[in-house]
Amino acid sequence: MTFAGKRVFVTGAATGIGRATADYLVAEGAKVLGAGLDGDDGKALASRYGESRLIFRESDLTREADVQAAVVAAQERFGGLDAVVNCAGIYPTGKRLEELSDEDWDRTIAVNLTAIFRVCRATLPLLRATGGGSIVNIASVHADATVPGVPAYAATKAAVVGLSRQMALDYAVDRIRVNAVLVGSVATRMTLDGLEAAGGAEALGLSFEPNRIARIANPSEIATAIGFLISDAASFVTGSAMQVDGGLLARLL
Ligand SMILES: NC(=O)c1ccc[n+]([C@@H]2O[C@H](COP(=O)([O-])OP(=O)(O)OC[C@H]3O[C@@H](n4cnc5c(N)ncnc54)[C@H](O)[C@@H]3O)[C@@H](O)[C@H]2O)c1
């Protein structure tokens, strides 16, 4: 797949899956506008490539003003957008529903769901002006099957799938495809911190061994799947919830 000439907005681009996606797309010829927290990592990423290939804007995407500023930058620097990848997210663990404060609940909804709504709302006009495009929203296996202690996270990831499916219908008329990715366990700080808290990978039935189904993925393996959904090779793929989970959801025990 080549992404030459494609202009892609990637949220959560400074770290983890977002960063791997930015690296992959730039390596294959895309221009990337990265937005998110973790500004030092974002700046390091930008300086590696130079502004003609990757721009990073430190942005709290729960703030409408930050979303707007990042999208204005995409318009000014790239002259528009061809694709959007919503990767930014948080994974608060260890509390059952009764233990969640309003603030806990609202924060998870704000980052994992409302920020996607805001980014899509702000970028859809740019994709439409391009004549069409692709939006990829990063959900999780937690949309379908989950673990104890993550009520808000599981709710947001199921909602991301529903939102993506619905948007696919409303925006087909604009030639904008919208897909969700049900990501399994990936070796980023989000999972590695969570695994430590849960007592290690084996306690969750996961393995780091490279030849096992339901092993832990390298972030680059999610990036290539995202790349497929962005690419013209996926021209008939919209409204899907694509599992990229090493067979995790296929496991009974
Ligand atoms: N790592 C996994 O195993 C896994 C599994 C399923 C789904 N996911 C999803 O993948 C996505 C990326 O996670 P990751 O594993 O790369 O972890 P990560 O912690 O490395 O990445 C999360 C990114 O989101 C950004 N972010 C958080 N709050 C933000 C905010 N308010 N505004 C802007 N940016 C914000 C962070 O700066 C960070 O770059 C998340 O949506 C996560 O839910 C991850």
Q: What angle do CA 39, 42, 48 make, to 5 degrees?
A: 145
The CA 59 to ligand 1 mean position distance, Å, reads: 14
CA distances from 240 to 72, 73, 167, 189, 234 (A): 29, 29, 11, 27, 11
Which residue has its alpha carbon closest to ligand 1 atom 41? 89
The CA 173 to ligand 1 mean position distance, Å, reads: 30
Cβ contact 245:141 at 8 Å: yes
Class of domain 7-246: alpha beta
- pLDDT band at 247, cuts 50/70/90? very high
211: pLDDT strictly greater than 80: no
Taking the C-alpha atoms of residue 18 and residue 34, their distance in angstroms, rounded to an integer, is 8
Share of the chain above pLDDT 70, in %: 100
Candidate from 19, 24, 37 with most ligand 1 atoms within 8 A of CB, to mutate: 37
The CA 182 to ligand 1 mean position distance, Å, reads: 13
Taking the C-alpha atoms of residue 9 and residue 133, their distance in angstroms, rounded to an integer, is 11
69: pLDDT strictly greater than 90: yes
Look-up: residue for tokens 């919209």?
238
Closest to 133 (Cα-Cα) out of 229, 223, 52, 10 = 229
Helix, strand, coil % in the chain, rounded to nearest 5: 50, 15, 30
Average pLDDT value for residue range 190-206: 81
Domain-wise residue ranges, the chain: 7-246
Residue type at 245 in one-letter notation = D
Candidate from 188, 206, 248 with most ligand 1 atoms within 8 A of CB, to mutate: 188
Largest CA-CA distance found in the chain, in angstroms, rounded: 51
Average pLDDT value for residue range 29-40: 98
The verdict on the CB of residue 54 being under 6 Å from ligand 1 is no
Which residue has its alpha carbon closest to ligand 1 atom 31? 60
- Residue 83 has a pLDDT of 98
Average pLDDT value for residue range 5-32: 98
Average pLDDT value for residue range 60-79: 97
pLDDT, tens digit (0-9, with 9 covering 90-100), for 93-138? 999 999 999 999 999 999 999 999 999 999 999 999 999 999 999 9
Cα-Cα end-to-end distance for the chain:
36
The verdict on the CB of residue 190 being under 6 Å from ligand 1 is yes
pLDDT, tens digit (0-9, with 9 covering 90-100), for 77-92? 999 999 999 999 999 9
Cβ contact 17:183 at 8 Å: yes
The verdict on the CB of residue 91 being under 6 Å from ligand 1 is yes
pTM: 0.97
Residue of higher predicted confidence among 213 and 39: 39
Average pLDDT value for residue range 182-205: 86
Taking the C-alpha atoms of residue 206 and residue 36, their distance in angstroms, rounded to an integer, is 29
The CA 42 to ligand 1 mean position distance, Å, reads: 13
253: pLDDT strictly greater than 90: no
